[in-house]
A and B are shown apart, each in its own frame.
Chain A
Amino acid sequence: MALMDLPKNDISAGLSAEQRELLDKMTEPSHVRLEPMASSASPTGIAFPLVNQALNLPGGMEPPLLDDLAEKGLLAKVPCDEILACPHCRSADFAVSENCRACRDAFVRKDALIHHYRCSWIAPQKEYEGPKGLACPKCQRKLDHVGVDYDIPGDFYQCSGCWKKYGEEKLTARCRICARSFLAEAALRLQLHAYVLTPAGKGLKPGKAP
């Protein structure tokens, strides 16, 4: 039998004191909708400030508490935002840096790559630059107009330590919670939810123990 189908008294019996207090608080107009926020104080990187304040809970305790209420059918989850999180510990608290993946050195060189239409040559802009403007290092022709003679299909980064070249795959991230590094594009995309009372939650008299 699903929790939703239980008599109200049975639902209320399974609630902790904090949960009952929270449901009570949510009947007030200021607490009707509980919104998540990114927070470095919380180990999960997400906090519900209204819940923290109302119940005086430490950061990171509120999501399981809210999920439990949602499972019991007393709160409804409303999708509200999407955040990136550490793929190792799911924390949203990480720093992104442009460091070389191989040697962790900082990049010193960033340049645009030029594609010369006539000969298909791709090289850094610096190699095209000459005393009379841009000239192709492969076929020596002059490049006058972007979009007519050439375009810039991307950028590249070169490590100052090991001279390795990178494209857009340059960004690495380091989690402040678990201290592990990962590629920025490997970050998890987490769907965040706000919580509101369901009709079942509204109908409950949560302040009183059964």
Chain B
Amino acid sequence: MSFDLENLRKITEWQWLLLLAPALLFDTTRYYLTNFLYSLFSLVRFFLPKKNREGKASSECPMVSILLPVYNEGPELREVLDSILDNLYPNFELLVIDDASSDETMGLCLDYQSRGKLRYFRKRIRGSKPSSLNYGLFFARGDYILHLDGDTRLERSAILEMMKAVQDPRVGGVAGNLFARNARQNLTTLLQSAEFAMTINAQRRWLAPMDLLQIASGAFSLFKKKILVRSRGVDPEYGEDLDITIKARKMGARIAFAPDAIAETALPPTMGGVFRQRLRWDRCYVRLNLRKHGNLINLLRFRFGDFISMVLDFFFNLVLLLFFPVYLVWVEMKIPGSMPFILVVTYLFYTLVIFTQITISFFLSPKKHREWRWFLTVPVYFLYSLYLRVIRASAYLLEAFRSKRGSSRFFPEYVRSQIPRY
């Protein structure tokens, strides 16, 4: 029996559900409604009196210690340092921790230090980024610690906005709003930039108030020093940012999101680069959540929301992905000739969802960072999303078999060989 429009009329309600299942079950769907509701909420808030919209600014300006771990950052570091030093927040110190760079980093930092702009610490032996962060923590004088990456450029009001968000006594850490600084470089960076706008700029606005924000990116995040001291700094992980966020949440602290604290970061310009970066992040997500901090699923001790988030991630990213081909074959057998129809419907539905999401993210973004080119990614975003999902599934599988971890670019071999494997 061939599958054409004539046959559509003969399909029962149950069979319709079967055909549309992939579209309705896709990961994005679960974010779709919440993003839409948040947009409505933002619109209502826009018309509220201004005092309700302003973050709570503290009358005092406690000292913020900015930790900037660097390793062979090259001449671009000057731009990063200038963007930090140009900040509007009046009380901060910048600690640059050099992981024994072999390029011009040292000369550049000494030049800034000689003008009293920063405190420069050069490690004699290369350690790793986590050890640099702990090195900086040891010397930090502020009660608030800002973690930055060597290629993160801050906007002038970024620290001020982070500090507004951390005034809530329940909050232990704040995630900043990250945008791509090389969005227009090529399609790969444009896709990632659109993804950042949707997953960071838009989703985190509602994830944080619901206490579901599970990561404050190491590229731009702020923590209360007491949290970092209590957890004894960060651990040697590829995703030390996720690790410290989980630890802070286990201590009962909330992670806030500061949408107006904006920083720009460079994204990998090739799909190979995306693969390596995401596989590292995803393996870390799986390893930390399921192994190292496996006790998070103890519902009596920790949050129910975290448990649900992990189960959903596992279900959407691994179970659904692996069963999708099996499902297609099964439906093809039940309703012959339906496979192209399912694929087309799924694609169209997903693309519609992405278009809506990008539209929402576009309007939620600050004017300066709105990128109309994000809309150009709509037709191909489905493939990019599939690519990311394959990486996430690979991460689950690699971690399930405890496969050896990737490159030693982030850890010298003598350190890597000592890191415990969870």
> A-side interface residues toward B, CB under 8 Å?
113, 115, 117-123, 138, 147-149, 151-154, 156, 164-169, 183, 185-186
Contact = CB atoms under 8 A, between A and B. Distances in A.
Interface of B: 100, 110, 113-116, 119-125, 127-128, 130-131, 134-135, 137-139, 141, 232-236, 414-415, 418-420
Contact of A165 (B115, B139, B232): B139
Most chain B CB within a 10 A radius of its CB, from A138, A151, A152, A183: A151
B110 A154 contact: no
B422 to A, nearest CB: 13
Contact of B419 (A118, A138, A154): A118
Contacts of A153: 100, 123-125, 127, 131, 135
Contacts of B113: 169, 183, 185
A117 B233 contact: no
B127 A113 contact: no
Contacts of B119: 167, 169
Most chain B CB within a 10 A radius of its CB, from A138, A147, A169: A169
B115 A121 contact: no
A164 B141 contact: yes
Contacts of A152: 124-125
B240 to A, nearest CB: 8
Given A118-B419, A164-B141, A154 B236 contact: no
Contacts of A121: 134, 232-233
Contacts of A168: 121-122
A186 B418 contact: no
Contacts of B135: 113, 115, 122, 153-154
Most chain A CB within a 10 A radius of its CB, from B113, B119, B135, B141: B135
The 4 closest A-B pairs by CB, nearest first: A186-B114, A153-B123, A117-B418, A120-B130
A35 B420 CA distance: 61
B418 A122 contact: no
A167 B419 CA distance: 26
21 contacts: A115-B125, A115-B135, A117-B127, A117-B418, A118-B418, A118-B419, A120-B128, A120-B134, A120-B235, A120-B236, A121-B232, A138-B233, A147-B414, A153-B125, A153-B131, A154-B123, A156-B138, A165-B139, A167-B139, A185-B110, A185-B114
Contacts of B125: 115, 151-153
A126 B232 CA distance: 17
A156 B266 CA distance: 34
Nearest to B128: A120
Most chain B CB within a 10 A radius of its CB, from A148, A165, A167: A167
A120 B127 contact: yes
Most chain A CB within a 10 A radius of its CB, from B110, B116, B122, B418: B418
Contact of B138 (A118, A123, A151, A183): A123
Contacts of A117: 127, 236, 414-415, 418-419
A62 to B, nearest CB: 29
